[in-house]
Amino acid sequence: MAKKVKTHFECQACGYISPKYLGKCPNCGAWNEMMEVKEQPEVASPHARVSLSGKRATPQKLSQVKTSDEPRVKTQLDEFNRVLGGGVVPGSLVLIGGDPGIGKSTLLLQVSQQLHLTGGTVLYISGEESTEQIKLRAERLSLTGNEFYVYAETDMSAIRQVIEEIHPDFVIIDSIQTMIQPEVSSVAGSVSQVRENTAELMQIAKTNQMAIFIVGHVTKDGSLAGPRMLEHMVDTVLYFEGDRHHTFRILRAVKNRFGSTNEIGIFEMKEQGLVEVINPSEVFLEERLDGATGSSIVVAMEGTRPILVEIQALVTPSLFGNAKRTATGLDYNRVSLIMAVLEKRAGLMLQNQDAYLKAAGGVKLDEPAIDLAIAVSIASSYKDKGTSATECFIGELGLTGEIRRVNRIEQRVSEAKKLGFTKVYVPKNNLYHWEPPKGIEVIGVATIGEALRVAFR
């Protein structure tokens, strides 16, 4: 009599395991994501490591631990180096996610060629393209000196064998959802496959001190597909954002064990591939109309970099009972909060007004210092009065109408002066203990009412 095969059902969105099929996952709430998986006997992995160095670990006092200062490997893309924290760290595991067709493979193919030129051995592994297709893409991008290795394979056991033979310094996996672990019975891209493959790649990276880049697919809501644990396992998580119908792309770090988070790198997609944008502030401001209403400029901090961005607002009378609020590139709840403060503390009757707001250029802003610029743009559209083209606004807005201090005010004001702005509005408490640069007027405001009176006098 044949032995009955034991199975369970596993959620492909979060990894929740159930003994029976469920239409809705009780853990994450996803519908129709439960997949039947055959249970495998637990055996010790033949490649299990006992320490990051591959040797048996022993307890040590922290003062006795010896460290080595590993130099970072820099590419020719300074924007890419900045997002990584200064360059590629040997032994790191980097996850890059983004929408289909956004340019992840193009970026990593360019990075592979540049890492090869530094003297390192690069292995580009693709589970989505053949070697001929990779060659055609490299020729389209006019990559020279492309002597790095390419390998079209999805079997992780074969990939590990090739890595042990070549022993590269850098490995690119495109993509993790296409890789298959033979010991795991589930299909490629499932939670079990992604988890096991990432764990093996992490072991390879740490044991052999080689940097590995992993491409990850994203879901409809823009988050990385697979278990949430995937982001915890890797050292760095990068998101490649942008609209496929526009040329600009933003590479954003949301996790980085070797550098600052929330750093961004800005690229422009051209026929020869991705080209870095040296001065993104000029890009975000180049199409601003002089004297337009509903527009204001803010100096936002993205990691360690100040960027000037235009905040646009359109306020129109509502045709229906409930006013509509729409925000693109801005937090919807923050916009609603600011409009409530404007109505209560500044006397603007916005309850019967539709409001549409966006951060121009496709950039996403989420720091508190953009509050004052959002409020000024809304008031500008509501009053039908434009702000000066040489003024910018910095400050956090409190619920009682006060303008609260923000961080790195010196860098923000210096960036505004560099771009030709002559006047900047800042929180009054930010005026102390520093000397503003010459050539720009710094005006301190304490409340939102005061800020609007000064801006629209």
- Annotated binding-site residue? 104: yes
- Annotated binding-site residue? 98: yes
424-430-431 Cα angle (round to 5): 75
- Annotated binding-site residue? 294: no
Whole-number Å distance between alpha carbons of 269 and 282: 17
Check the CA dihedral 333-339-344-350 and report its sign.
negative
Exposed / middle / buried, residue 134 (Cβ in 10 Å: 0-12, 13-18, 19+)? buried
173: which 2 tokens? 């996996």
Whole-number Å distance between alpha carbons of 86 and 173: 22
* Residue 419 φ/ψ region, left for φ over 0, alpha for ψ in the -120 to 50 degree band, beta for the rest: alpha
CB-based contact 236:229 (threshold 8 Å): no
- Annotated binding-site residue? 103: yes
Whole-number Å distance between alpha carbons of 172 and 178: 13
Q: Is 203 helix (H, G, I), strand (E, B) or coil?
A: helix
Q: How many CB atoms lie within 10 A of CB 425?
A: 24
Residues 6+ apart with CB under 8 A from 374: 296, 298, 311, 313, 330, 334, 335, 338, 357, 397
- Annotated binding-site residue? 414: no
Phi, psi torsion values for 367, nearest 5 degrees: -90, 155
- Annotated binding-site residue? 235: no
- Annotated binding-site residue? 266: no
- Annotated binding-site residue? 101: yes
Annotated binding site: which residue ranges?
98-105
Please give the annotated binding residues for ATP, written as ranges: 98-105
